[in-house]
Amino acid sequence: MINLIFYLSGELEEVATKEVENFVKYVLNGKVIDRDRQILICKVSNIHSLERLALIHEVSLHLFSGDFDNLDCLFDLLERIEIPNDKMCVRVKNIGGKRVKSQELEKNLGAILWRRGARISVSNPDKILRVYVSERFHLGWLLYKTNKKQFLERRPDLKPFFRPGAILPRLARGLVNITAIKDGTILDPMCGTGTIIIEAGLIGLDFIGIEIFEKIAKGCKMNLKHYNLPTNVIIGDAREMPLKDESVDAIVTDFPYLRSSKTFGEIEELYTKSFEEFSRVLSKDGRVVFISNIDVEELFSPLFKMESKFYQKVHKSLVRRIYVCKKRRK
């Protein structure tokens, strides 16, 4: 077994935590063994598919964790760890809570390694020894850094077909991972311009999109083609989907937002009938992850068990609810 440090995004830390927890458990066959602010330490049986993750900054091979009143242990450890043949350096990251003088600590730790024969290269290292400073400190060899630029390049307004209101790709990818789907088919029954199914397709999952408006469905297909993905989009209604029973492995979607109390009756009917269809087409033990701008527990509770609920404040008049639900067994 291998211990890994996951350095989480601080913007949506609770959602990031859920993404890593489910990824580690269902994809890497592991478990969380320690927690700190923006830090999860996990024991896994193997390392693969880290590029699927969205809401993390990086992953390191865990060596040691300790309290600040025992900082001498960190210096003692560097006197004993194996020195790689590669060029290396030490990088300290202040995350929150406790803080240290990062450059001074990097210099002192690097000096220990240099005296022991390490090939120190600050400008062009082959390996980086990471020290994460949170409520405690955590030491590890850097393994993987998230390419956050890719998500910016796939912003909704940069796609060939654009409509305002779409969620951002990084969040969409994170929600796909929260379903814990390892392989199989993911469904977005209100796919709009395709952000969710594009992110699912880019990590190698099969997907189906359903969109009620023909013009938007055509635009979604344009966006899928732009990323060389199959145009698996059906013109249809989430309340009556042309899919077989238990034919998809996970559902991720962003419901239309209630703008006025006058439309609540219509929205309530959309939710109620959609949840019935979600339950019908979803495989046994499958998850639904969806976004809403209203509280809807009473509408789905007969069919789905809520595992988690998160809040994302978008602006003064919009607070998203992110629900993670599992299909109830009949």
3-state DSSP of the chain? CEEEEEEECCCCHHHHHHHHHHHHHHCCCCEEEEEECCEEEEEECCCCCHHHCCCEEEEEEEEEEECHHHCHHHHHHHCCCCCCCCEEEEEEEECCCCCCCHHHHHHHHHHHHHHCCCEECCCCCCEEEEEEECCCEEEEEEEEECCCHHHHHCCHHHCCCCCCCCCCHHHHHHHHHHCCCCCCEEEECCCCCCHHHHHHHHCCCEEEEEECCHHHHHHHHHHHHHCCCCCCEEECECCECCCCCCCEEEEEEECCCCCCHHHHHHHHHHHHHHHHHHHHHEEEEEEEEEEECCCCHHHHCCCEEEEEEEEEEEECCEEEEEEEEEECCC
- Global pTM? 0.94
Range of the domain at 69: 2-145
Look at residue 262 and tell me whether its pLDDT is greater than 80: no
Do 169 and 100 fall into the same domain? no
Per residue in 128-186, pLDDT (tens digit) is: 999 999 999 999 999 999 999 999 999 999 999 999 989 999 999 999 999 999 999 99
In the block, tokens 């077909």 appear at 161
Per residue in 49-97, pLDDT (tens digit) is: 999 999 999 999 999 999 877 778 888 889 999 999 999 999 999 997 7
Q: How many CB atoms lie within 10 A of CB 294?
A: 14
Do 210 and 288 fall into the same domain? yes
Do 175 and 312 fall into the same domain? yes
Q: At what angle do helices 169-178 and 13-26 cross, to 10 degrees?
A: 40
Which of 102, 117, 145 is the last residue in one of the domains? Answer: 145
Total domains in the fold of the chain: 2
Per the DSSP assignment, residues forming a β-bridge with 210 are: 234
Task: Report the CATH number that the domain containing residue 159 is assigned in CATH.
Answer: 3.40.50.150
Do 60 and 104 fall into the same domain? yes
